A and B are shown apart, each in its own frame.
Chain A
Amino acid sequence: MKDWKAIAKASGMEVDPAQLNRVAGPLEALEAAFRPLVKDLDPGVEPATGWRLEEDGK
Chain B
Amino acid sequence: MTIREAADALRARRVSAVELAAAAHARIARLNPKLNAFLTVTAEQALEQARQADAELAAGRDRGPLHGIPVAVKDLFLTRGTRTTCGSKVYEDYVPAIDAAVVERLRAAGAVMFGKLNMHEMAYGITSANPHYGPVSNPWNPKHSPGGSSGGSGAAVAAQMVYAAMGSDTGGSIRIPAAFCGVVGLKPTYGRVSRYGALPLAYSLDHMGPLARSVRDAAMVLNAIAGYDRRDPTSSRHPVVDFIPDDGCSIRQLRIGFPTNFYFDHLDAGVESSVRGVFARAQSLGALVKPVRVPDIAALNTVGRVIQLAEAAAVAEPHLEHREKFGPDVLALFDQGRLVPATDYINAQRLRRLLIREFDRVWSEVDCLMFPTTPTAAPRIGDATVRLGGRDEDVRLAVTRLVRGINVLGLPALALPCGLGASGLPMGIQIVGPAWEEALILRVGAALEDGGVGIPPCPAA
**A residues touching B (Cβ–Cβ < 8 Å)?**
4, 7-8, 11, 13, 15, 19-20, 22-23, 26-27, 30, 33-34, 37-38, 41, 45-49, 51, 55-56
Closest residue of A by beta carbon distance from B346: A47
Q: Is the CB of B344 within 8 A of A15?
A: no
Closest residue of A by beta carbon distance from B334: A23
Q: Is the CB of B339 within 8 A of A46?
A: no
Q: Is the CB of A48 within 8 A of B356?
A: yes
With A30-B305, A33-B302, A37-B303 known as contacts, the answer to whether A23 contacts B335 (CB < 8 A) is yes
Q: Is the CB of A30 within 8 A of B306?
A: yes
Q: Is the CB of B332 within 8 A of A22?
A: yes
Tell me the B76-110 residues at the A interface (CB within 8 Å). none
**Interface flags, B301-335, vs A, CB<8A=1, else 0:** 01101100100000000000000000010011001
**B residues touching A (Cβ–Cβ < 8 Å)?**
204, 233, 298-299, 302-303, 305-306, 309, 328, 331-332, 335-336, 338-340, 344, 346-354, 356
Name the distance in Å between B404's Cβ and chain A's nearest Cβ: 13
Name the distance in Å between A17's Cβ and chain B's nearest Cβ: 12
Name the distance in Å between A38's Cβ and chain B's nearest Cβ: 5
Q: List B contacts of A46 (CB < 8 A).
A: 350, 353
A49 interface neighbour in B298, B349, B351, B354, Cβ under 8 Å: B349
Q: Is the CB of A8 within 8 A of B336?
A: no
Q: Is the CB of A47 within 8 A of B350?
A: yes
Closest residue of A by beta carbon distance from B233: A56
Q: Is the CB of B302 within 8 A of A37?
A: yes
The CA-CA distance from A8 to B338 in the complex, in Å, is 8
B306 interface neighbour in A8, A22, A34, A55, Cβ under 8 Å: A34
Q: Is the CB of B233 within 8 A of A55?
A: yes
- Residue in A19, A22, A46, A49 with the greatest tally of chain B CB atoms within 10 Å: A49
Besides A23-B332, A26-B336, A56-B233, 13 new A-B residue pairs in contact (Cβ under 8 A), listed by A number: A8-B335, A13-B338, A13-B339, A19-B331, A19-B335, A23-B335, A23-B336, A30-B302, A30-B306, A34-B344, A38-B344, A47-B346, A49-B349
With A30-B302, A33-B298, A37-B299 known as contacts, the answer to whether A47 contacts B339 (CB < 8 A) is no
Q: Is the CB of B302 within 8 A of A19?
A: no
The CA-CA distance from A7 to B340 in the complex, in Å, is 10
Q: List A contacts of B340 (CB < 8 A).
A: 27
Q: Is the CB of A41 within 8 A of B351?
A: yes
Name the distance in Å between A7's Cβ and chain B's nearest Cβ: 6
Name the distance in Å between B325's Cβ and chain A's nearest Cβ: 14
The CA-CA distance from A38 to B303 in the complex, in Å, is 10
The CA-CA distance from A19 to B306 in the complex, in Å, is 20
With A30-B305, A34-B302 known as contacts, the answer to whether A4 contacts B339 (CB < 8 A) is yes
The CA-CA distance from A30 to B303 in the complex, in Å, is 9
Q: Is the CB of B346 within 8 A of A15?
A: no
A-B residue pairs in contact (CB < 8 Å), sample of 27: A8-B335, A11-B338, A13-B335, A13-B338, A19-B332, A22-B328, A22-B335, A23-B339, A26-B332, A26-B336, A30-B309, A30-B336, A33-B298, A33-B299, A33-B302, A38-B350, A38-B351, A41-B347, A41-B350, A41-B354, A45-B350, A45-B351, A46-B350, A48-B353, A49-B349, A51-B233, A55-B233
Name the distance in Å between A3's Cβ and chain B's nearest Cβ: 11
Closest residue of A by beta carbon distance from B309: A30
Q: List B contacts of A55 (CB < 8 A).
A: 233
Closest residue of B by beta carbon distance from A51: B233
The CA-CA distance from A49 to B349 in the complex, in Å, is 7
Name the distance in Å between B170's Cβ and chain A's nearest Cβ: 16
A47 interface neighbour in B233, B331, B349, Cβ under 8 Å: B349
Name the distance in Å between A41's Cβ and chain B's nearest Cβ: 6
Closest residue of A by beta carbon distance from B332: A22
Q: List A contacts of B302 (CB < 8 A).
A: 30, 33-34, 37
> Which 10 interchain pairs have the tightest Cβ spacing?
A47-B349, A22-B332, A48-B353, A48-B352, A33-B302, A38-B347, A45-B350, A23-B335, A48-B349, A47-B350
The CA-CA distance from A51 to B233 in the complex, in Å, is 8
The CA-CA distance from A33 to B356 in the complex, in Å, is 19
Q: Is the CB of A27 within 8 A of B339?
A: yes
Name the distance in Å between A11's Cβ and chain B's nearest Cβ: 7
Q: Is the CB of B348 within 8 A of A34?
A: yes
The CA-CA distance from A55 to B235 in the complex, in Å, is 11
- Residue in A26, A41, A51 with the greatest tally of chain B CB atoms within 10 Å: A26
Q: List A contacts of B299 (CB < 8 A).
A: 33, 37
Closest residue of B by beta carbon distance from A43: B350
Name the distance in Å between B1's Cβ and chain A's nearest Cβ: 43
Name the distance in Å between A32's Cβ and chain B's nearest Cβ: 10
The CA-CA distance from A19 to B338 in the complex, in Å, is 14
